[in-house]
Amino acid sequence: MRFNSEELFAAATLVHQVVPPTQQFPWPLLAQHAGCEVWIKHENHTPTGAFKVRGGVIYLSALKNREPSCEGVIAATTGNHGQSVAVAAKALNFRSIVVVPEGNNPEKNRAMVAQG
């Protein structure tokens, strides 16, 4: 499977409809080692605190196109993936159920519930 720039720009457009852009910062130490200008993005500044929401948006959008009658999704996780599924599902009008293991981190559970 090949991935081209047209698909990249389409994915970026879709993601930006749901996820606000994260800041970029120049990183001189890495630039010095790499011998070129280096910028980094703090993906912990997304609504879920992780990069995974981008993949959730792309996947659920593709699912909606492939299976228009699909009304919801179920995910099993211990944290960040569940938040990304909840955010993406809400944005794309899916119902979502996130299943977590017994004894899962209560903070992670609250974060997932807070996303919808």
Which tens digit of pLDDT belongs to each residue from 64-83?
999 999 999 999 999 888 99
Fold of 5-114: Rossmann fold (3.40.50)
Identify the residue with better confidence: 3 or 58.
Answer: 58
Q: What is the pTM of this model?
A: 0.78
Could you tell me if 73 and 98 are in contact, meaning their C-beta atoms sit under 8 angstroms apart? no
Q: Is residue 36 very low, low, confident or very high in pLDDT (cuts 50, 70, 90)?
A: very high
Look at strands 72-76 and 95-99 and give their pairing: parallel
- Domain parsing of the chain, residue ranges: 5-114
If you average pLDDT over residues 51-76, what whole number do you get?
Answer: 93
Instruction: Give the per-residue SS3 of 20-85.
Output: CCCCEEECHHHHHHHCCCCEEECHHHCCCCCCHHHHHHHHHHHHHHHCCCCCEEEEECCCHHHHHH
26 beta partners: 39
